[in-house]
Structures are given as structure tokens and as C-alpha cells.
Amino acid sequence: MKSPSDFELSRRKLLAGSAASIALTAAPSIVNAQVPAVEAAVADVSAEWKVSFTVNGTARGLTLDPRTTLLDSLREHLHLTGTKKGCDHGQCGACTVIVGGRRINSCMTLAVMHEGERITTVEGLGTPENMHPMQAAFVKHDGYQCGYCTPGQICSAVAVLDEIKAGIPSHVSADLNAPPQLSNSELRERMSGNICRCGAYSNIAEAISEVAGRPA
């Protein structure tokens, strides 16, 4: 079955094609001069953008409708379906990926805004045979039930530990000018952008604490 995005692409090509034929019929007497005119018409109608970025260490190039979110480019165009679409409005965190070392909501950004950037999805953290320590800890501590929010939780958790290491304070940091602690309340505050509807929070906190090297 064709995916909706495949359909959209073919529909766009069709539209671009019709525009080209209109240009041809409009000026039949200057056939030799048609080539640039056709190109201009195509560029104008298709409004597609080329974007290149690195996903999990591999360079990828895509031609996209500029409306395509980074999330949809990963799932629908690159078929990396580990990253999940939950609310699609930046509220649930299921779509969290790491871009340039920072976690972001991939649903709230356009793919074309990430030219040349380095993107890491849950597929890039580890494999079933060679799991990232955070993935292993989620398995060990049962940090999920249905698993839908898990890729976002794991990407977020990996980045949270880097943020603490980098000295970025949080809402619950007692002293803005001291290095943040690896406390349970710090981890919970920093993970508040990842919602787990099954409510596996305490196990998620235990998994992250273990990787952080402290008791939960």
C-alpha cells in the first residue's frame, strides 16, 4: 500500500506536470525557448525543498513539502518509526529526538529547518543486540507498560544526564549558581516533558537513576 506521503508526492508531480503543459500550450510558437519556462513553472508550483542532514551517523537527503515536520520526515520518509507521534503538538514528548546534542520535540519543527544538522533517534542509540545503557536500564527496571512513550523517554533521559553534566540548572535547583544535583526531584522535573499515560514514572526514574550512578 502506498503511504499518504507517497500519494502526496505523486499528486504534486502531477500538478507540476500540468503546470508545465499549460506553459507549453500558452506559447506554442517558441518551442525552443520552452525549457527554462517549464523549469520555472515547475519550481513555482511544486514548492518542494531539498534538505540534507545526518541521521544516526548516516547522511540523508530528502526533497520535501516544507510543511513536513522533522518527525514526519523521520517516520514517513526515512521509515525510522522508532520515534513516535503522540499528540503532534509538543505536549507529550513521544517524538523526542536529539539534534546537535540537544533533545527537542521533532513534531514542533520543520525538517527543512535542520539543514546540515546531526540527528539521533532511538534507533541510533543502540540495537537489540547492543543496547545503550539507558535502554538496558529501562528493560531492567520495567520503565514502561505499553511502550509507546518509551523511545521519547529514552532519548530525553540520555539528554537530561548530559544537561546535568553541562551544569544547566532546572526549576528545582536550589542554588542557581551551583552545579545541579543528580537527585530524584531533579530527574523528575527535567523529565516532565515526557508524559507516560501508563504511569510508569517511578520505574522510569529508577532506570535513569541507575544510569546516572545514584540510588533512586
In the complex, what is the shortest distance from the CB of residue 31 to other proteins, in angstroms, rounded to a whole number? 30
Comparison of 167 and 199: residue with beta carbon closer to other proteins:
167
At its nearest, how many Å lie between other proteins and the CB of residue 193? 2
Give me the helices (H) in the chain, please: 4-26, 34-46, 70-72, 122-125, 133-141, 150-165, 184-190, 201-212
Q: Are the CB atoms for 92 and 86 separated by under 8 Å?
A: yes
Closest CA to 136 of 206, 79, 215: 206
Q: Is the dihedral of CA 88, 91, 95, 96 positive or negative?
A: positive
Q: How far is the CB of 9 from other proteins (least distance, A)?
A: 14
Cβ distance to other proteins smaller for residue 34 or 109: 109
What's CA 35's distance to the chain center, in Å? 38
In the complex with other proteins, the residue whose CB is nearer, 35 or 176, is 176
Q: Which residues bind other proteins (CB under 8 A)?
A: 47, 49, 65-67, 69, 88-90, 93, 96, 102-105, 108-110, 112-113, 115, 156, 159-160, 163, 166-171, 173, 176-177, 188-194
Q: CB-wise, 94 or 200, nearer to other proteins?
A: 94
CB 187: neighbour CB atoms within 10 A?
A: 24
Task: Reduce the DSSP state of residue 131 to 3 states and report it.
Answer: coil
Least distance between other proteins and beta carbon 41 (Å)? 15
